[in-house]
Amino acid sequence: MDLARLRPNTFASVTTALSREALWEVVSNPLLLPELSSELQSVRLISSEPLALGSRFEGDQLRGERRWTTVSTITGFEPFQFFEWTVGDLAIPVSTWSFLLDANTAGTTVTHTVTLCGGPSPLTDFIALHPLDAERLVQERLDSLRERMAATVAGLVELAGSLVEAKVVPEHHSHFGAHDSARD
């Protein structure tokens, strides 16, 4: 199976009443993803500059007993709309991941997508060992990713909602003393 040519993919979406601006704070911060992932254990930014197109980060992965580290590059960065990163060598990537924020009458639809690109990975190693099972292996991986991505999207929406609530400033009432015109 030629993953580089076929580029199998999957996605998970949810619509929320939150704004794209509120959601952008969480979907564009890869440091938050390990808290919501069973596979991604930690993320380290390679550069100390603010995240932008071309920024890179490392991710420590764990699946079963297998551990590995990936390097990702931000390959899509449109504030409040689209955030994408590519895992591995940009010439032969392992995968691309993205969040799309689509404003609509219900609020915002968050879509999390992954595309398998065929670069060196545990999946491509396993396919090489079991080529007759390649289609089944890829489908199982996509099913597993989709399930975990749905949980990630739900977690990010919940986190964005809690950040919005934390930023709500309570209404303040002023009292001007004995000469308050509202009381005169």
- Give me 30's structure tokens: 């890869």
pTM, to two decimals: 0.86
With a cut of 90, say whether residue 151 has pLDDT above it: yes
pLDDT at 155 over 60: yes
**Domain 3-29+77-165 is found in CATH 3.30.530.20:** yes
Distance in angstroms (rounded) separating the CA atoms of residues 50 and 47: 8
Both structure tokens of 110: 């968050």
Q: What are phi and psi of 95, to 5 degrees?
A: -165, 165
- pLDDT tens readout for residues 4-28: 778 999 999 999 999 999 999 999 9
CB atoms within 10 A of CB 3: 20
